[in-house]
Chain A
Amino acid sequence: MIKLKRLRRDDSLGPLESVLFLDFIKGLTITMKNLLRKPITTQYPKEKITPPKRFRGKHGHFVYDGTEPPSLQAIQGFMSFEKGKSRCVACYMCQTACPMPTLFRIEAVQMPDGTKKVVRFDMNLLNCLFCGLCVDACPVECLTMSDIHEMAVYRRSQAVIHMDDMEKIGATNAKTVRELPDRIWRNDKERETLWGKVKWNF
């Protein structure tokens, strides 16, 4: 049966405690102890904590650069890809998986040689939940989420990102984030202000 724990309710102060204000003194010592500790804050605009590898920030497109997964290699003959450009195959999986599908605008055309070329890939990030379902759904490891999290803009239209922005983000992401080991955070030093030294087992 259920293991219960009746709480011990010490809800009245003893005479000595109340006359000598021992309860206050206890609290005051605790705050004093904390006063002597080091601050744990990061001074935000000056110092920034790098988000972990798995962070879901602004979207990007990984580019066509020879690191394609087998799923893409199988069909790349049907696509008109350029080196250094997006490897999107316009399968619309991201849009289908998205709980808010209208934020995507994807268009592809057929080239004269019969291959397919993606000409438009817009995302309206104002509608985005940043849930990552689109990234999970992408079968060719094209769509990704970078560690960019400062996305404030002055106009609504600036919150819509286009394929070229995403290619740039993806290209940097491929260089910086993708190759990182899958650790809980990237930089031990930055986290030390809050955490102190953590012992690692690996």
Chain B
Amino acid sequence: MPWASKDTLERIKHSFRQINIDIQPHFVCINVEDTKDITNILKHLKDVEDFRYFIDFHVIDFPKEKDRFLGQYILVNPYTFERLAVKVWFKNNKLPTAKEIFAGAKWAEREAYDMFGVEFEGHEDVKRMFMWEDYKYFPLRKDFPLGGIPEQKLPSLTEVLEGNTMPPSHDYDIMHTYVPTIKEIEKTEKSRITKRGQLVLNWGPLHPGTHGTMWFLFDLEGEHIIQTDVILGQLHRGMEKIAENIHYFQFLPYTDRMDYLSAVCNELSYVQAVEKLANIEVPLKARYIRTMFAELQRINSHLLWLGTGALDLGALTVFLYAFREREKIMDIIEGNAGFRLTSAFLRIGGVHYDLAKGTLEVAKYFVKDFYSKLKEYHGLLTRNRIWLKRTKDVGVITQEDVYQYGLTGPVARGSGVAYDMRKIDPYAAYDLVDFDIPVGDIGDVYDRYLVRMEEMYQSARIVEQCIEALEKMPENEPYVNKKHPAVIPPKEDVFNDLEDMVKSFRIVVHGENMPKGEVYSSGENPRGELGFYIYSIGKSSPYRLRIRSCSFYNLSVFPKVIEKHTISDAVALLGSIDPVVGETDR
């Protein structure tokens, strides 16, 4: 079990009287009554109880409560893999900062400030994380409308001005939420860094090395980076706000668009959280299909990392070799889900379709071929002296950094932290297949490279085992648990069965009310732990849905590690951290 055990909770309770312990089936937290104690409690948890792995910090807004904002830390003990949430109310919109205790809290607190307008004592220079500096509102507060506050005329979006009113119903409103001007963005840029080196290099927002719209400010001394700042938010769409306003099943396609390189894995993490909340059993076949596709997606995502990472370091050809294999995985996913990238293949309670005919043959053919291709990649890079020179001892992330900043996934495993949700808290069919967790020891770019390469190998192994299991299964085995009241029945049943049709109507129109409670559930994405925290008040949409983004926390270590390195190292390091902007910004 990944949640804190009774003994641990008892011990904590023994040390601190002013806390309540709240145990739910998929969530264990301690409520800290007095805001002043939070620093001591966090310190105690970190130093004495070994909850030193910072996973997440987020805020929930209760406009009707006296103190309104509730902060919540999620910590993990990296030795016993116990997970624990710590809840604390903000006092007068204020909470003592935790950035001295957990370095990763720095960015999390900035995000909390950006989205809720809460303040942190001791974290004075708290800056906007995603929005620009002069933005007036705090979007995730409950009183901020979903569509934003329309206050700016943006006629370019409509065709009314051109005299074209057909069809009028599909024109957009002329009034639009406020859009930042160049001046405001420049102001944001200027306020972020006080120049210490010779020149400030704007690396991004559109730059081939950043893999997306990420914006780095490098303060350079020659080619060496003295300090750096990351400006995010170019792809911020307010996923968490959207999720609060639509039914659970409707949010699924949005999860595809977070880490768009690993759509199935995102879906799996989300669907799993909802299933835990609603207590839905998933049929074995669906579990195997999920596992198989998640692992194919992992290979897919790692191949893109390999290709672009090698491209960054100048090996132009590896990119296309990686894309060749990636294309095959895309074909498999497209043939089954209907879409290549944002597949929306999983459903709450199972998968959308049964496997298409021929999937297993094709997947088998792919995996068989893939091992030799993997050898090719190794031959091109692993022992190449230039590759070694560029990656060895570059961007070393220590274990302490991993715990402090909440790094997960291959970044953590490259530094020797064997933190993998697939083993710690097996979901889908991961407990039924055999695979190893590769672990590095130094934590440099080369180690992360090796870890990812090995993970591709292990994923291929898992896919093989899933194919084997699926081949043995009878054809008409159920792929979705349609008996559960919260699961939309498959299409054919809706056409033929009145009961299923009524059920489908009910869920689509009203949504299925989920039980009250909280769930934090996470899956192992190619980039790390993607967690979904759902606070349900018994409605058909979550009261608060928090996405614990792995890319976001993984990226937070970048400014620290890159110091005193060169720009070329920045490329290598960023490639090895492999953030996806869709997920950092959400």
Question: Which residues does A use to contact B, with CB under 8 Å?
Answer: 2-7, 9-13, 17-18, 23-24, 26-27, 29-31, 34, 40, 51-56, 69-72, 74, 93, 96-99, 103, 105, 122, 124, 129-133, 135-137, 139-141, 145, 155-157, 160, 162, 181-185, 191, 194-195, 198-202
Contact = CB atoms under 8 A, between A and B. Distances in A.
A18 B385 contact: yes
A4 B418 contact: yes
Contact of B335 (A3, A52, A156, A194): A52
A200 B363 CA distance: 11
A171 B495 CA distance: 19
B436 A3 contact: yes
A6 to B, nearest CB: 6
A134 to B, nearest CB: 10
Contacts of B440: 7, 9
B77 interface: no
Interface stretch (B279-287, B350-358, B521-529): B350-358
B158 to A, nearest CB: 8
A30 B383 CA distance: 13
B405 to A, nearest CB: 22
B283 to A, nearest CB: 18
Contacts of B164: 155, 157
Contacts of B88: none
A139 B254 contact: no
Most buried by A among B335, B353, B451, B488: B335
B424 interface: yes
B509 A132 contact: no
Interface string B335-352: 111110010100000001
B491 A136 contact: yes
A54 B336 CA distance: 7
Contact of A56 (B338, B434, B501, B509): B338
Contacts of B392: 11
Nearest to A107: B169
A24 B442 CA distance: 26
Contacts of B167: 105, 122, 157, 160, 162
Nearest to A97: B508
Contacts of B441: 6-7, 9
B504 interface: yes
What are the 8 tightest A-B residue pairs by CB atom distance, in nearest-first order?
A: A131-B253, A184-B335, A69-B495, A5-B436, A54-B338, A56-B338, A184-B358, A52-B335
Contacts of B321: 34
Nearest to B365: A198
A7 B447 contact: yes
Interface of B: 159, 164, 166-167, 169-170, 242, 246, 249-254, 256-257, 317, 321, 324, 327-328, 331-332, 334-339, 342, 344, 352-353, 356-362, 365, 376, 379-385, 388, 392, 418, 420, 423-424, 434-442, 446-447, 450-451, 454, 458, 488, 491, 494-496, 498, 501, 504-505, 508-509
Contact of B358 (A2, A29, A202): A202
B454 A52 contact: no
A72 B380 CA distance: 59
Contact of A131 (B344, B424, B439): B344
B418 A2 contact: yes
23 contacts: A2-B420, A2-B437, A10-B382, A13-B388, A24-B384, A26-B379, A26-B383, A27-B379, A27-B381, A40-B327, A52-B335, A70-B496, A93-B508, A136-B488, A136-B491, A139-B495, A183-B358, A184-B362, A185-B358, A194-B324, A194-B328, A195-B362, A198-B365
B439 A5 contact: yes
Given A9-B441, A194-B327, 9 more contacts: A6-B439, A9-B447, A10-B383, A27-B381, A52-B335, A122-B169, A184-B331, A184-B359, A185-B331
Contacts of B339: 55-56, 130
A191 B167 CA distance: 41
Nearest to A56: B338
Contacts of B496: 69-71
A52 B343 CA distance: 13
B365 A199 contact: yes
Contact of A182 (B357, B381, B420): B357
B356 A54 contact: yes
Contacts of A131: 252-253, 256, 342, 344
Contacts of A124: 170
Contacts of B494: 71, 139
Nearest to B347: A136
Given A132-B338, A198-B362, A2 B357 contact: no
B356 A184 contact: yes
Contact of B436 (A4, A97, A155): A4
A195 B370 CA distance: 12
Contact of B356 (A24, A52, A157): A52
Nearest to A156: B159
A90 B437 CA distance: 52
A98 B450 CA distance: 42
A31 B342 contact: no
Contact of A27 (B337, B384, B508): B384
A157 B170 contact: yes
A137 B507 CA distance: 10
A150 B360 CA distance: 29
B413 to A, nearest CB: 9
Contacts of A156: 159
Contact of B336 (A6, A29, A184, A191): A184
A195 B331 contact: yes
Contacts of B458: 5
B169 A105 contact: yes
